[in-house]
Amino acid sequence: MSVEELSREIILDHYQNPRNHGRLAQPTLANRGHNPLCGDEIELSIGIDPNEERIIEIAFAGRGCSISQASASMMTEMVKGQMLEEAAAAAQSFTQRMGNREPPPQELEQDVDALQGVKKYPARVKCALLPWTTLRESVDLYRHREPATVAGDDRFDCADAP
Ligand code: ZN
C-alpha cells in the first residue's frame, strides 16, 4: 500500500471513529474554532491540572469535512497527557510542517503524519490546521485567564438571601 493510500485510510479511520469525541462535563476551559472557507467547526474542552500545567483530559465536538474532524481526533490523541508547553510546541510544529514546501514523509511515524499529504491541496490546509489553531488559542486563553472569582450565581444568591 502506498503512503498516500495509507494516509487516506488513517484519515478516514479517525473521521469515522473519532478519538476523544464529545464534551467534558467540567472542563477547565472550552473554546471554539471556525474555518469559514469550508464551514468546519471545532469545539474543544480541556481539563488542565493547574499544578503541573498538564492536559489531563481533552475532548472535541464539531462538524465539517473529514480532514478537519480527523485532524481534531489526531490532535487530541497526541496532546492528551502533555504539558501545555509541549502541546503548544506540537501545534506550532504541525503548523510549520503544513506550511512548508517539503514533500510529505515517505513513512508515517504517527497518525498525524497522514495529514502531510493534504499539502497538495492548499485549500484544505486550513481544514487540517483548524483544531491545532484552536488548541493554541486555548493555551493562550488559559495563560491569560482572570484569576478565579466568585461565580455570578453565588453572588446573586448572597444578595438575595434574607
Ligand atoms: Zn474543511
Residue 157's pLDDT is 46
Residue 23 resides in a domain:
yes
Specify if 90 maps to a domain: yes
- Residue pLDDT, tens place only, 23-64: 999 999 999 999 999 999 999 999 999 999 999 999 999 999
Confidence of residue 9 (pLDDT cuts 50, 70, 90): very high
- Ligand 1 center–CA 32 separation, angstroms: 15
- Whole-model pTM? 0.88
- Closest C-alpha to 2, from 107, 87, 73, 75: 107
Average confidence (pLDDT) over 56-73: 98
Q: Are 115 and 67 in contact (CB under 8 A)?
A: yes
Structural domain count, the chain: 1
pLDDT score of 105: 87
Q: How many angstroms separate the alpha carbon of residue 121 from the centre of ligand 1?
A: 11
Given a contact cutoff of 8 angstroms between Cβ atoms, the answer to whether 102 and 139 are in contact is no
Residue 153 falls inside a structural domain: no
Does residue 109 fall inside a structural domain? yes
Distance CA 24, CA 69 (A): 17
Q: How many angstroms separate the alpha carbon of residue 154 from the centre of ligand 1?
A: 41
Please state, in angstroms and rounded to a whole number, the distance separating the CA atoms of residues 46 and 135: 9
Residue 60 in domain: yes
Enclosing domain of residue 138: 3-147
Tell me whether residue 11 is in a domain. Answer: yes
CA of 35 to the centre of ligand 1 (A): 7
Distance (Å) from CA 151 to ligand 1 centroid: 37
**Whole-number pLDDT of residue 104:** 85
Cα–Cα distance list, 139 to 1, 25, 80, 95, 129 (Å): 38, 19, 13, 15, 15
Does some domain include residue 106? yes
133: domain CATH number is 3.90.1010.10
What cell does 54 get? Answer: 498538564
* Residue 162 placed within a domain: no
Q: pLDDT tens digit string along 97-131?
A: 999 988 888 899 999 999 999 998 989 999 999 99
The environment of the single-atom ion ligand 1, i.e. residues with CB closer than 5 A, is 38, 40, 65, 68, 127
150: pLDDT strictly greater than 90? no
